[in-house]
Homo-oligomer: A and B are copies of this chain.
Amino acid sequence: MKDAASPSHWKAFTSRRRDPATKREAVLQTAAQLFLEKSYGRTSLNDVAERLNITKPALYHYFRNKEEILLECYRLGTGLIAEILNDIATHCGTGLEKVEAFIYAYANVMTVNFGRCVMRLDEGDLSSDALVEVRAYKRKIDRRLRSFIQEGIADGSITECDPKIAAFSIAGAVNWICQWYEPEGALSAEEIAAQFARTLTQGLAARGRTRPLTVLSRARKQAGPWHQERSNDR
């Protein structure tokens, strides 16, 4: 789960050797990057081709049309999320611990190109068929998070609250990351993920209950206690 800074995937097209798999992925990587930089609508296929040092029609060898590129970005992103979701569900632990693990992993995904695409790009650019597919994925995510919260309420690790609103709050906070996160920014992905997991779960934790140290909590070694910012924000 790590992106090179500016991978320059055009290298995949320097040779004309037949290797559709890696070339296809190179297209997706640069497309995703451009979609995030300029939005899908303002990114022309010429832009994508130019960055790969090829011409527009060459792209049509790997994708039927522009929308298929977009949809594939969504699929790769939702795939990443589905992965972490399954990992956590099988993990044993209290509901609160699952929520914490979810936030940590999910926040990390929101700093990876394909992951960012899922929540940052405009669904309206998808065809109606693709839209229902993507929406199904998103609904699944929301359902899972809500079920973790309900579990937590049942086992006493999470304070009484409306699971729907709580899930919306958490999802919103984490989804919003992909709107302001910048790979070269002051805050690293791990930092963000760790702090969000801490801050958001602390709001859910049942009162009077000393928060147990989870695997996550132990793993993260903070640079200092709440380092006051000195970085030029934004």
**Size range of the chain A interface in the assembly:** 35 or more
Chain B residue contacts of A227, Cβ below 8 A = 162
- Find the B residue at minimum CB distance from A191: B165
Contact residue among B166, B199, B207, B234 (Cβ-Cβ distance under 8 Å from A169): B199
Q: Looking at the assembled complex, report how far the CB atom of A35 sits from the nearest CB atom of chain B, in whole angstroms.
A: 11
Given contacts A171-B176, A202-B203, contact A195 B38 (CB under 8 A): no
Contact residue among B39, B124, B160 (Cβ-Cβ distance under 8 Å from A124): B39
Q: Please encode chain A, from 192 to 209, with 1 for each CB lying within 8 Å of some chain B CB and 0 for all others.
A: 100110011011100100
Q: Please encode chain A, from 43 to 86, with 1 for each CB lying within 8 Å of some chain B CB and 0 for all others.
A: 00000000000000000000000000000000000000000000
**Contact residues, A216-234 vs B (CB, 8 A):** 226-227, 229, 233-234
Q: Please encode chain A, from 170 to 182, with 1 for each CB lying within 8 Å of some chain B CB and 0 for all others.
A: 1111111101100
Q: Are B195's CB and A165's CB within 8 A?
A: yes
Given contacts A39-B122, A41-B41, A202-B203, contact A169 B164 (CB under 8 A): no
The reply on A154 being an interface residue by CB < 8 A is no
Chain B residue contacts of A199, Cβ below 8 A = 161-162, 165-166, 169, 203
Contact residue among B38, B200, B226 (Cβ-Cβ distance under 8 Å from A162): B226
CA distance A192 to B169 in the complex (A): 10
Given contacts A176-B175, A203-B202, A207-B207, contact A42 B162 (CB under 8 A): no
This protein's copies in its complex: 2
Chain B residue contacts of A160, Cβ below 8 A = 226
Chain B residue contacts of A122, Cβ below 8 A = 39, 122
Q: Looking at the assembled complex, report how far the CB atom of A112 sits from the nearest CB atom of chain B, in whole angstroms.
A: 18
**Contact residues, A141-167 vs B (CB, 8 A):** 159-162, 164-166
Instruction: Knowing that A41-B41, A162-B199 touch, tell me 18 more A-B residue pairs with CB under 8 angstroms.
Output: A39-B41, A39-B122, A39-B124, A122-B122, A160-B226, A164-B229, A165-B195, A165-B199, A168-B177, A168-B180, A169-B200, A172-B176, A172-B177, A175-B176, A176-B176, A200-B203, A203-B203, A207-B207
- In the assembled complex, 6 residue pairs joining A and B whose CB atoms fall closer than 8 Å, in A order, are A38-B124, A122-B122, A161-B199, A169-B199, A170-B173, A172-B175
